[in-house]
Amino acid sequence: MMKKNIDQIDASILICPECKQRSITLEPSAHCTNPNCKKTFPIWDEIPSLFDRKTDEITQHFPDRRMEGLTTQDIINNAIYNWSHIFSDCDRENFEKDIAFDYHIDAVEGTLPDSFFRLSTPSTGRILEIGTGTGVDGRKLAHYNPNFDYYGVDLGFAIYPCQRSSKKRSNQRYIRASALSLPFADASFDIVYSYGVFHHTPDPYKAFSEAIRVLKPGGHFCTYLYEKHENNALKRIPLTLIESLHVLTRRLSHKQLKLLCYLISPAVLLLLSYPAQILKKTPKLKLLGNKFPYHHGTTPKSILGDLMDRFGASINYRFSKEEFANLFRQNKIAQFKITKMNDRAGYVGFCSK
């Protein structure tokens, strides 16, 4: 009989998000054994929620005009609600289809050294994915490394269908937690991976440092972040317009946001996607076509997720290549590489600690 998710979690690597002590027990309930803390944490559908919602101090340390009128609690609630609905719409029932289907990690892996995600040494270990999304990347990571324990962490409730659909695989575990306060002890993981998450947090610098903190010496770290398009006016100018509209659209409900994105998708296809597709058919103009926003679009559905990403996220930070590099330097990582994927915008950064 397959063990429950809660029973497969190694409590010895957990720390309390309140007192930061290695004092979490999951039996008979999730709570901190530190007598000066004693915080309890809910468990629902076999997943413990190990995070503290009282994070208003984040806005004091990392003020930004995009947060005006929004408390940190508003940001968290918006992220939980909108993104959980988006990801919960995805089909997670066909494991073989997921493994065969090219997804984020496949595009990222094409930029990395061989065996970056497929470790042969050590023979056993742990993998952490920060932000589980639809669960496809997590399935692939667990599949590539069957002798490793995969841990998926996400703030939203879409993590529950991820966990339910992975019950047939004994090496996947899930914990609901914040990227800004990971409930893990230092140096707990051999691989830490996060795709498109840190730039949606109130403090991407803190999220980045947390990922490095829980990485073992010699471990592999990889993340994807939005870019500023500092050298591409074709994308930078439309993004400036989107940011100005973002003040209003980030307050929409999930249903309102989805309707808005469906309504504007034909215009995006006509003005950006289809011209880009035409340009890419000519070898000499292919590079120019790839610089168009939504150059991959073919139908309204094909760009719906990207539109909801642009208009619906509570926060969208963007980084120049140099700013991305500074994230590594600030965390005392001297050897790292920042690159780009062939068919999409954004930067991939990776290192071995």
* Residue 172, beta-bridge partner list: 150
> Residue 60's pLDDT band (boundaries 50, 70, 90)?
very low
> Residue 63's pLDDT band (boundaries 50, 70, 90)?
very low
Q: Are residues 177 and 240 in the same domain?
A: no
CB count within 10 Å of CB 319 equals: 22
Token pair in block for residue 309 = 């990403």
Task: Answer yes or no: is 22 within a domain.
Answer: no
Q: Are residues 53 and 180 in the same domain?
A: yes
Task: Answer yes or no: is 136 within a domain.
Answer: yes
pLDDT for the residue 97? 56
pLDDT for the residue 259? 92
pLDDT value at 193 more than 70: yes
Q: Greater confidence, 23 or 160?
A: 23
Q: Are residues 198 and 256 in the same domain?
A: no
pLDDT value at 204 more than 60: yes
Structurally, the chain folds into a number of domains equal to 2
Report the distance separating Cα 305 and Cα 261, nearest Å. 9
Q: Are residues 268 and 168 in the same domain?
A: no
Task: Answer yes or no: is 36 within a domain.
Answer: no
Give the range of the structural domain holding residue 238, as residue numbers without chain letter: 233-312
Average pLDDT over residues 305-333: 88
pLDDT for the residue 3? 67
Which phi-psi region, left, alpha or beta, contains residue 343 (left: φ > 0; alpha: ψ -120 to 50)?
alpha
Q: What angle do CA 20, 24, 29 make, to 5 degrees?
A: 140
Task: Answer yes or no: is 298 within a domain.
Answer: yes
Q: What rounded mean pLDDT belongs to the chain?
A: 83
Average pLDDT over residues 187-210: 94
Q: Are residues 209 and 63 in the same domain?
A: yes
DSSP state of 4: P
Q: Are residues 245 and 193 in the same domain?
A: no
> Residue 67's pLDDT band (boundaries 50, 70, 90)?
very low
Q: Are residues 175 and 198 in the same domain?
A: yes
Please choose, from the candidates 132, 40, 42, the residue with its C-alpha nearest in 3D space to the C-alpha of residue 88: 132
Q: Are residues 245 and 304 in the same domain?
A: yes
pLDDT for the residue 65? 42
Q: Are residues 193 and 247 in the same domain?
A: no
pLDDT for the residue 333? 96
User: Which of 12-21, 75-84, 247-256, 289-298 is predicted least confidently?
Assistant: 75-84
> Residue 82's pLDDT band (boundaries 50, 70, 90)?
low
Say which CATH number the domain at 64 has.
3.40.50.150
Task: Answer yes or no: is 31 within a domain.
Answer: no
Task: Answer yes or no: is 62 within a domain.
Answer: yes
Q: What angle do CA 132, 136, 137 make, to 5 degrees?
A: 65
Cα torsion angle, 10, 13, 19, 23, sign: positive
Q: Are residues 205 and 281 in the same domain?
A: no
Q: Are residues 126 and 204 in the same domain?
A: yes
Cα torsion angle, 25, 29, 32, 34, sign: negative
Report the distance separating Cα 89 and Cα 317, nearest Å. 25
pTM to 2 decimal places: 0.83
Q: Are residues 61 and 201 in the same domain?
A: yes
Task: Answer yes or no: is 5 within a domain.
Answer: no
Identify the three-state secondary structure at position 190: strand
Report the distance separating Cα 219 and Cα 214, nearest Å. 10
> Residue 150's pLDDT band (boundaries 50, 70, 90)?
very high
The CA-atom distances, in angstroms, between 224 and each of 18, 109, 212, 268, 318 are 28, 11, 14, 24, 11
Residues 6+ apart with CB under 8 A from 213: 182, 186
pLDDT value at 291 more than 60: yes
Provide DSSP, 96-130: HHHHHS--HHHHHHTTSPTTSSS--SSSSEEEEEE
Task: Answer yes or no: is 23 within a domain.
Answer: no
